[in-house]
Amino acid sequence: MDKLFLIFFFFFQSFFIASTYASDDTKNLFLNELNDLYKKYGNSPVELHNPSPEIENNTERNQIISKYEWSLPKLWIGLQTICYNALDLDKGLPFDDMIDRNLTQNKPITPKNLLDFFTPLLSKEEFTFQNGDIVFILSHLRSSFIFAYILDSAYSHSDMIWINPKTKIPMVIMSSPVENRIVPLSEYLCGYFEHLNSFAIYRYNKESDKNKMNLILSKIADNFQNLYFDEPFSRNTNINSIEDFLSKPEFFYCGELIYAVYQFVIGNSDFIYNDGYIPIETMVKNRGVPITPIEKVFVDYASQLEMKEKNYLINQRNFYLSKDFSPIALYGSNKSLKESYNKKN
């Protein structure tokens, strides 16, 4: 019996040590990458990446995108014009001063900022990166601030962390309107296509099937060429079969992909913060710009379609305001830009 106990004890101890080292490896690799970026850029913003011309100019890919968009209700595509028209306005928004003040006072995040932030955090034994952790970002761009303001959010974009099982490096599966890529978390937080103003990492705080999460994220990584960004933001959230998922081109915007993954892993949508949905009419109202007669036609139609199909835009609020997600890293404020602006005015 004693011999059997010792065998079990050493097996458990070996497993625990291996798991700890795997976790430590991931943290150390991330920290090493930040150190390398710091040596190269110091306290200056990093050099940004450009979209791949071979992807942008891929005829077959562009045909797939065009076919998908034309398959949607035609006026639904007008949603972009309706809700995000403010992005094309140089001035005249009621919250312009707030945006200019933020962009002036808060410089883009640098490798030094990240190293100073993460070094004490990573020294804590309990801190880890996990598959499915959600990264929320607010880019250091006027358009990102407008987008977050319209959605009454603190952030303008979100993606998921995937630990590469071969390298143990924490990666980010980017579902981006610029271009979908899988990139190291260290590069992502320094700013990949756009420099960042603030970020947060949140984790699902209830029991879940970690093997299922690993499986679905690995599936996305293996079939990444079939993941397209859903530019019209037309929600298509269900992952019906892990075997068929991404076996052909499928379209997801950032929040939509996160929702689909968690819905698949958990088996329901109870994790979502339902009061976080921002209807089209509210988005238009949040712009603070008078609606034109032509816009009103689009708004009325899209609103009716939205309510009929329950096709509300999934945004960052649906996750970070949910009681089922908790922050494990918070750089900058996680308060709504609109809320912050209204308090100051």
Lowest-confidence region among 13-22, 107-116, 176-185: 13-22
> For position 13, what pLDDT does the model report?
39
Strand pairing report for 157-163 and 170-174: antiparallel
* Cα 310 to Cα 303: distance, rounded to the nearest angstrom: 10
- Give the model's confidence band at 232: pLDDT under 50 very low, under 70 low, under 90 confident, else very high: confident
The DSSP result for 282-296, as a single string, is: HHHHHHTSPPPHHHH
Which residue in 244, 237, 240, 242 sits closest to 260, CA to CA? 237
Model confidence at 5: pLDDT above 50: no
One CATH from 2.40.50.140, 3.90.1720.10, 3.30.1280.10, 3.40.50.300 for 13-344:
3.90.1720.10
pTM, two decimal places: 0.90
Q: What is the pLDDT of residues 63-97, one digit of tens each?
A: 999 998 888 765 455 555 555 554 445 556 888 88
Q: Is the pLDDT of residue 57 over 80?
A: yes
Helical residues (DSSP H) of 59-136, grouped into ranges: 59-70, 74-77, 79-83, 96-105, 111-122
pLDDT in tens, 300-328: 877 887 887 777 889 999 999 999 999 99
The per-residue pLDDT for range 209-230, each reduced to its tens digit, is 999 999 999 999 999 999 999 8
Query: Across residues 40-65, what is the average pLDDT?
Result: 93
**Distance (Å, rounded) from C-alpha 174 to C-alpha 55?**
15
Distance between alpha carbon 307 and the CA centroid of its chain, in Å? 25
Q: What angle do CA 283, 139, 220 make, to 5 degrees?
A: 90
Domain residue ranges of the chain, discontinuous segments joined by +: 13-344
Kindly tell me if the per-residue pLDDT of 280 is higher than 90.
no
Whether 117 shows a pLDDT value over 70: the answer reads yes
Q: Strands, E, within the chain: which ranges?
A: 134-139, 157-163, 170-174, 181-184, 196-204, 227-229, 250-252, 325-331
